[in-house]
Amino acid sequence: MNSFAHWLSTTSPSHAFRVHESWLIPGVQSIHIVGIAVIMGSLFMILLRILGWAGTDQTLRQTTDRFAPWIFGALGLQLVTGIVMIVAEPVRELINFSFWAKMVFVAIGTTLAAIFLYGFPNREQQWDRFVNRRTFKSLAIVTFVIFLCIIVLGRLIAYDHIWGSWSPARQEF
Amino acid sequence: MPIDAFLKSIEATNFATTVRDSIWMFPIIESIHVMSFTLVVGTIAVIDLRLLGVASVQRAVQRMTQDILKWTWGAFALTVLTGLMMFTTNARVYYHNPFFRTKMILLVFAGLNMAAFEFTAGRTVHIWGSGPSVPRAGKAVAAVSLVLWISIIFMGRIIGFTTHPGAVAPPTPGVNYDNFLAPPPGSSNGNGGGNGAPNQPAPAPPKQ
């Protein structure tokens, strides 16, 4: 991974991104944050609906139909902006404990969200059977918390030294 | 300048000193700031997009604002609190940072924009709120709101590239943790950035 990251940093796209880094990197990061805001807002609306705290004039199915495309659309945006940031600064991102921990949480969180939004049979009765179960509500909360952890780990990429000896950045160079 | 003396006294408080001297406190406060404002912006966007006719057009506007805005305000309060916490750690630097100032002005605009809604389309929401069509003033407020909040995110992000909060660990000599790709100290153009942390360690209080 070390040599890959260093190789990537010598490629021309990486170089091109860094030439314009004074505005490009904060700009792409800002788009990445707008993307996570869309995801969090949408997940939050679904969570509140599942818990029965908001949106109860809508069925759960109507709520997920409303927000699921925004969640997965924004996840696509996150992938694209994320790749740009990796190519621009491969060593900072890839030689980083927070980054890889974040990727694990992204994999788990995306899978859970996909199961929630697409995995259940698309029948209202099925939803209604699940919706009042405590495990269903707990799973919704867990999914939301995983996305909160993704935000924290994403921010901690910039502060990887707080992990101490877990941070490969310390051994780098 | 008297304001600088005041800001300096904020930086000297126990709280600010503790956060500054801690390796993990500033990053955690910043993470909570990000978590809460994603909810602020995300929930505001739900309502803005309704007003613009992009999504949720079949739902009554009043019902949505009643459901959502209390959470928005709760998240906003947490965002302000964590923002103030970060501000205390390096008050003078933030105060004089042009992007920080722009962000504060944009926040005021966002508030005025909300007030504008209350005085225009908001007054008649009971008439039009249940239907899909929204008065032009309501749409304008929603569009301005989206632009303002996205701009606020950008300003917030770029503050991290242009300030030195002094809240990071002292780097090991010879290792630039903030930008591994930067040329070694002493050579020109070491200012890469690429994260929210200061590019260089602040003229920080000596640690440990």
The ipTM, to two decimals, is 0.89
Residue whose pair of structure tokens reads 């995110």 in the numeric block: B153
Instruction: Pick B197's closest partner by Cβ from A41, A159, A170.
Output: A159
Residues of chain B with pLDDT below 70 are: 1, 164-208
Among the partner residues A34, A54, A157, nearest to B67 by beta-carbon distance: A54
Decide if A41 and B154 are in contact by the 8 Å CB cutoff. Answer: no
pLDDT tens-digit readout, B146-177 = 999 999 999 999 998 888 544 333 444 455 55
Q: Answer yes or no: is B112 within a domain.
A: yes
Residue B143 CA to residue B140 CA, distance in Å, equals 5
CB atoms within 10 A of CB A106: 20
Q: Would you say residue B24 lies in a domain?
A: yes
* Percent share of chain B, pLDDT over 70: 78
Are the Cβ atoms of B38 and A169 closer than 8 angstroms?
no
- How close, in Å, is residue A133 to chain B by CA atoms? 23
Q: Which of residues 103-132 of A touch B (CB under 8 A)?
A: none
- Closest A-chain CA to B22: A162
CA distance A46 to B61: 18
A99-158 per-position pLDDT tens digit? 999 999 999 999 999 987 876 645 555 666 666 677 788 889 999 999 999 999 999 999
> B159 at the A interface (CB within 8 A)?
no
Q: Are A54 and B71 in contact (CB under 8 A)?
A: yes
Tell me if chain A has a CB within 8 Å of the CB of B207.
no
The domain ranges of chain A are 2-170
- Enumerate the residues of chain B whose CB falls inside 8 A of the CB of residue A173: 174-175, 180
Of A30, A92, A159, nearest to B154 by CB-CB distance is A30
Residue B67 CB burial class (10 angstroms; 0-12, 13-18, ≥19): buried
Partner A contacted by B62 (CB < 8 A): no
Q: What is the pLDDT of residues A27-67, one digit of tens each?
A: 999 999 999 999 999 999 999 998 989 988 888 888 988 99
CB distance from B45 to chain A under 8 Å?
A: yes
Q: What is the mean pLDDT of residues A15-20?
A: 78
B54, part of any domain: yes
Any A CB within 8 A of B175 CB: yes
Q: Is residue B57 part of a domain?
A: yes
- Domain contains B71: yes
What pLDDT is stored for residue B192 in this prediction? 37
Q: Please give the pLDDT value at position B93.
A: 93
Whether B37 is in a domain gets the answer: yes
Q: Tell whether B196 lies on the interface with A, counting CB pairs under 8 A.
A: yes
To the nearest whole angstrom, how far is the Cα of A86 from the nearest Cα of chain B? 11
Would you call B73 an interface residue with chain A, using a CB distance cutoff of 8 Å? no
Residue A45: per-residue pLDDT: 95
Cβ–Cβ of B169/A161 closer than 8 Å? yes
Q: How far is B180 from chain A (nearest CA, A)?
A: 6
Which range marks the domain in which residue B142 is found? 2-162
| Tokens linked to A14 | 């990486």
Query: CA angle at residue A97 from B158 to B28, to 5 degrees?
Result: 50
Report the candidate in A106, A85, A107 with the shortest Cα–Cα distance to residue A158: A85
Going by the DSSP 8-state scheme, the letter that residue B206 receives in this structure is P
Sign of CA dihedral B116, B121, B126, B132: negative
Residue B208 confidence (pLDDT): 33
For chain B, the domain total comes to 1
Whether B31 sits inside 8 A of A156 (CB atoms) is yes
